[in-house]
Structure formats: C-alpha cells, structure tokens
A = this chain, B = another copy of it.
Amino acid sequence: MRHQVVPVRHGTMRERNLAVVLGEISRRQPVSRARLADATGFTKTTVSSLVATLAGAGLVREDGPVRDGERGRPATAVSVNGDRVAGLGLEINVDYLAACVLDLGRRIRHRHLVAANNRGRAPERVIAGLTSLAERAIAAAGDQGLSVAGAVVALPGVLDRRGGRLRSAPNLGWSDVAAGELLNAGLPPLPLAADYDNEANLGALGELWFGDGPELGSYIHVSGEIGIGAGIVVDGRVFRGAHGFAGELGHVVVDPGGAPCACGGRGCLEQVAGQEAILRAAGMAETTATSSASPDGPLSALVARLEAGDERALAAVRRAGESLGQALATAVNLLDPDTIVLGGIFSGLAPWARPAAEAALAGGAGVVRRSPPRVTVSRLGGDAAALGAASLVVERVLDDPAILVSQAAGTAT
C-alpha cells in the first residue's frame, strides 16, 4: 500500500521555475543574475530568460548595478517591482467596510475605512457597498500606475470554503449566504478570481506583515468582538484545518455546564469573555443596544469605567481574561505556538485582562513546555483583516507568477 502525499505542483516546469526565481528575488533583492543562478542551480541563460519574462509582466525590475561580493565586478541587480502590480484587500464587518491596496513590496498604497451599520442588511446591499469601495481602490491604484491582480475579502463568520458559502455571521444576521458567487458577481473582474476568508485568519496574517512580523514565530492571534475567533499561523501560513473551521477559540469550553451557547455547547469561552458577556457582567448590558451603531461605543464606555476603577467592570474583565487564559492554555497544549497575540476587543482591554490571562495560561500550559508562550498585544487598527487580505493576494502572486505572466503574454499578442 503506497499513498505518498502529493505536494502542490505548478503546471509546467517553466511555471515552477518562474516561481522559484521570483521567490529568490523577493528574498535576496537586490540580487544579480549570477547569484540567482548560484541560488537556484539554473544556468545563467535560464535565469536571464526567466527574469526577462517576469520583468515583461511587471513583476521584477532592474535596479542599478550591485557589486558581487567575491568577484568584484559590478552586475545589474534585479528586485521585485513594487510599482506595477498590486493586491486588493476588502473587509465586511458589522460596523464598517474597509479596502486597502498593497503593492508587491507590501507597501500600503490606499486605505479606506467607511463606517456602516451592516447589522441585518441584506448581503446583496452590503456587497454593493463593497463593490463601490473596491472600484475606488482600483482607481486609486491605477492613478499610481498599479494594476490590481486580485482581491480577497474578509468576512466575519463561519465559512465553508469548499462549498463557497458563508454559513453564518450572527452579528450581521446572515446565514447560509452564497458568498463566493455574490462576491465574484459583485466585484470588478480581475486576473485572479475573488476569494474570501474569515476575519480571524486574515487579521492574523495582517499581524505577520504589519504588526510584530516574523519574531512572532508560530502564533495564535485572538480576534473578534461579540464572538471570539483565533487565527493560527504556522511557518508564515494560516492553518485552516480540513474544512476551514480551525481556530474556533470562542467555542473552547471553559465552564462545563455553564451558559448555553448558540453552537449547541455550554460554557463556551464566548459566553464568558465575548463583548456582550463582559458588558453584561460589568452591569452595562443596556449600553450595548443603544450604542451598537457606533464602531466602538460600548467598548469605549467600558474602558472609561475601567480607567475610573469601577470594581464591577474590573472584575468582569479580569474574569474574561482568566477564561481567555484557560482557553489559550488548552490551545497551547494542542498547538504549541511561540506567541499569543491579543487582538480584537482584547487589545483595548489588555491592561486589565492580560495579567489574569497570563496567570491562567502559565498555570495550564507552563509545565509541559517549561515556559508558557509570550503574550503580546496587537497594535493594528480596525482594518487588520483587510491588510491581511491584501497580503494574501501579494503572496499568491509571488507564489505563482505564471498566471500574470501568461496574461501579459496574451495581451502582447
């Protein structure tokens, strides 16, 4: 019985080689063709031909001369071209829509966040709003000479990526939405088909590229507001599980026999440490309903009470932190990350929630590993997921440049 695992393969050797050379350029830039030949094992002729193809598609460019260490002769350096191709990241959230454009060097070229009350609005109407945001972003990119290769959309809910459906986004009041179909119909046509992922995964990717970066190692990024999600990043890639449902930290049970959860379980983390649960425990349940239309209304009211030393608010947030730490201890025992990043509501609540979270984490996950993982606080703002989404487009182009290359060739003929 043999069943070797099949690695991801590109269609042809030339497509694979284009990806190999572009990968080396993006890691070593600026880099001479001679060093690229050393690094890849290709002949200099092959390297030159591949570089010419990538340059023709606007993916790399020649910079000034570099001096090759040993040989001393100046050579022309090749770098990723940050001025021709871009990725578009979009985000639908409860209180806002966001768009951002990154060039291939992951510089932010356009960033737009529009407050919007999307609760209970029909998916078609929300996506129409997103379409106009996307069109403005693509126009803004065009004004800078950038051509958008593709778009990824961050959605706040449980996605069935195989079926192309958004199963549920309780805070939007959506269930079983044909997200893939609606987005592909609603967004402007781009070389790469529109894709989507949940905001927990994309927010975690945003942290990799615009937060603390590679020093995070493998990490769990806690996100979410009313719900609690986690994005798991291993070796720079999101770990999604078999069906895209990995990272449901909000449904880790921290209080068996506790309050019933919409998921069918009892005592899930969300029931203790989700935004509404914290506000209720802090005696602020009514605040939620009245100020829910403003992006961070109830949360900033909570922070004000915490700063004022309100005992009930402090106790509620400590309790939430402790439960979060318990759930994270379980996640650490199963996933063994280097770092935990507190994002979502927990970044704002960190001064009060983090000590309890760290204590619970150390108690539950300290001995097997000797030391619990480092806990950091996200410094990214509301559109972290949109940044992560645009990064994912850039990653796809760098991983598989052939799609843009063949389109460039098609245009030329």
Contacts and interface: CB of A to CB of B under 8 A. Distances in A.
Contacts of A262: 367
A1 B213 contact: yes
Nearest to A6: B27
Given A3-B236, A242-B336, A246-B335, 12 more contacts: A2-B29, A2-B80, A2-B106, A4-B26, A240-B336, A241-B337, A246-B334, A249-B333, A251-B333, A251-B364, A263-B367, A330-B330
Interface of A: 1-7, 12-14, 16, 23, 26-27, 29, 40-42, 80, 105-106, 158, 167, 208-210, 213-214, 217-218, 230, 232, 234-237, 239-249, 251-256, 262-265, 326, 329-331, 333-338, 363-370, 398
B242 A218 contact: yes
A392 to B, nearest CB: 13
Nearest to A241: B336
CB-based closest 4 A-B pairs: A13-B41, A241-B336, A5-B236, A248-B333
Contact of A368 (B251, B254, B336, B366): B251
A214 B218 CA distance: 27
Contacts of A244: 336
A199 B259 CA distance: 38
Contacts of A27: 4, 6
A59 B41 CA distance: 23
Nearest to A107: B1
A232 B232 CA distance: 15
A80 B2 CA distance: 11
A334 B249 contact: yes
B40 A13 contact: yes
A248 B23 contact: no
Contacts of A253: 326, 329-330, 364
Nearest to A14: B41
A3 B336 contact: no
Nearest to A219: B242
Contacts of A41: 12-14, 16
B364 A326 contact: no
